[in-house]
Amino acid sequence: MASSHLPCATTISATLPLPSAQPLFAKPSHFLTHAKRSPRLQVSCATAPNKNDSVDDTPQGKVDRRNMLLGLGGLYGATNLVSTPGASANPIQPPELDKCGVATNAANQKPVEFSCCPPVTQRIIDYKLPPVFQMKIRPSAHRVSPEYIFKYNMAIDRMKRLPQDDPRNFLQQANIHCAYCNGAYDQPGQGTLDLQVHESWLFFPFHRWYLYFYERILGKLIGDPTFALPFWNWDNPKGMTMPPMFVDPRSALYDEKRDPASLPPAVVDLGNTQVTDPLQLVANNLTIMYSEMIRVNANVYDFMGQPLREGGKPKGGGSSERGSHTSVHIWVGDPNQPTREDLGNFYSAGRDPLFYCHHANVDRMWTLWQYFLPSNKVPDKRITDPDFLNAAFLFYDENAQLVRVTVKDCLDNLRMGYDFERIDLPWLDYRPPRQTAKAKVLRTSSTAPKASTLFPLNLDKVVRFQVDKTKKGKADELLVLENITVDTTKFLKFDVFVNDEDDNATELDKAAYLGTYAQVPHKTPNKTATSTIRMKLTELYDDMDISDDDSIVVTLVPRHQGPGVTIGGIKIIENPSDN
């Protein structure tokens, strides 16, 4: 089992004492091996807002985290810290709360309206991150103590007991997700164009801010500013069951609208494959994590999601959003509810306390991807486009004050005052085994139709076809699925296999498995959305004997029932980053 302990050639220490009143940035917990924390070491998390801004000089006695990472085994070079800015238009603006409308959801083919609008106030202030005097450490949910569970349960209980018109009330907090994700807000000045934070580069920043204030509210309610949310460690075999503290019906953490089949001891199914063998589920899950974190991403947008600017529509989420994130939503949501409430639909997801624990791990994935994956696996880490950095949202803070926040202020979790408990990352080295036999694929490829004869394609069953490579050999190429148009009111998911030799679609721990597309049901104006996804083929080519082949055989496997997905086209292109 691989460990998250990354190589550290030397012990880092600072020689200057830390004044007691000075904010402390602890070393990232994922780098701790057997060395003790040094109370004298500070990490500066300064980042340049855009390519034209410079990073402030590091104060004496502090160590810039990026420099520290370079010293800890050379995890990534300076050229990997930024991505090339795109063409600038205007960033997404925060919503106008007084123009909030009803969110809608399709239940049994009939629209159902929900009021998700928050209290309205005229006083909005620009939020400034407070100084950090003590780092909060978010714990793994399956490892917390009884004392922690008691404190967490008390905090949620007090949140639920707040007056209904208090923006910090539990239902008001749940409504935040409903309003930003299910059509209650329009983009300011853009007519009736929805403001949607999923399926784009806004996904990670929005949810990070969301949890940040949720966590601070809970801490305020119990008088503990050090309180930190737990994360559901579904990427580790020891955490792949629903955390026990959420399944006690007497607890404030309980929600009755969950799939009974997903209660402990059931193992989470990150692939929605319907596999029942726990060992195979764990193997599938680790393969999925390796794929979406490392294998399929050619650039920063493949992981973070596609750009979304003022006046635009979401064009596609990143590998993590459409993979493990969506699968957990669906796995927990109750199939006996009209649209898989609570966690299985955007409008209701925040009503389940487990939502915040789930998204704490999603946020952890962003942190791991930013700082702890080796540079030869993840080529670029940052987006410097001002339309990304200056996108803004509105939240109520722990004092019920409405505040305006921007993406550029949430790029570093340490600067926001929290880190994560150190947990092994078994998926880090869980690269699928090489595929040695290709005879069956060769036989099948002669009868598999060319992709050009099938697309546009209505994907309601397993489909197998040939796609031409750009050139022979182990080329650095991307598989592109274009104009994926979906019915947004449904759970829809499909997996992609290449040169699959055994046609066993329930086993994902093999070289043939490439990646996935999935969506959580949500509202859009015309109940449809269109996106394009890319998946890097480099590792897959290395793991298969296909150097002399002119084409590959692609298999698309729906994990949903019935129609709902149309794919406009599929092709292979050379990786633009290498041109």
Binding-site sequence positions: 177, 198, 207, 325, 329, 359
Catalytic residue selected from 30, 142, 198, 522: 198
Residue 484 has which token pair? 């994926």
* Annotation marks residue 142 as catalytic: no
Q: Give the residue among 343, 265, 364, 401 at the shortest CA–CA distance from 4.
A: 364
Query: Does 325 participate in catalysis according to the annotation?
Result: yes
The sign of the dihedral angle between the CA atoms of 494, 141, 363, 338 is: positive
CB neighbours of residue 23 within 10 Å: 15
How many helices, marked H, and strands, marked E, lie in the chain? Answer: 12, 17
Catalytic residue among 346, 372, 388, 420: 346
**Collapsed DSSP state (helix, strand, coil) of residue 556:** strand
329 is catalytic: yes
Q: Which of 359, 388, 420, 522 is catalytic?
A: 359
Packed helices 170-181 and 146-161: angle between N→C axes, nearest 10 degrees: 80
Active-site position among 30, 142, 177, 358? 177
Say how far apart CA 449 and CA 464 lie, in whole Å.
Answer: 8
In 122-224, which ranges are continuous DSSP H helix? 146-161, 170-181, 203-221
Give residues with Cβ within 8 angstroms of 53, minimum separation 6.
none
Between β-strands 125-126 and 402-406, what pairing exists: parallel, antiparallel or unpaired?
parallel
For residue 207, indicate whether it is catalytic. Answer: yes
Cα dihedral 473, 482, 511, 330 in deg (nearest 10)? 170
Tokens standing for 393?
Answer: 């949202």
Q: Which helix (H) or strand (E) holds 486?
A: strand 477-487
Binding residues for Cu cation: 177, 198, 207, 325, 329, 359
Residue 471 neighbours by CB under 8 Å, 6+ apart: none
Instruction: Report the C-alpha gap between 431 and 168 in whole angstroms.
Output: 43
Sheet holding 528-536, edge to edge: 457-458, 565-574, 477-487, 528-536
Question: What is the residue-wise DSSP string for 200-212?
Answer: STTHHHHHHHHHH
Rounded Cα gap, residues 420 and 137, in angstroms = 5
Q: Is 198 a catalytic residue?
A: yes
Pairing state of beta strands 513-519 and 565-574? Answer: unpaired
Catalytic-labelled residue, pool 31, 231, 246, 325: 325
Instruction: Kindly list the catalytic residues.
Output: 177, 198, 207, 325, 329, 346, 359
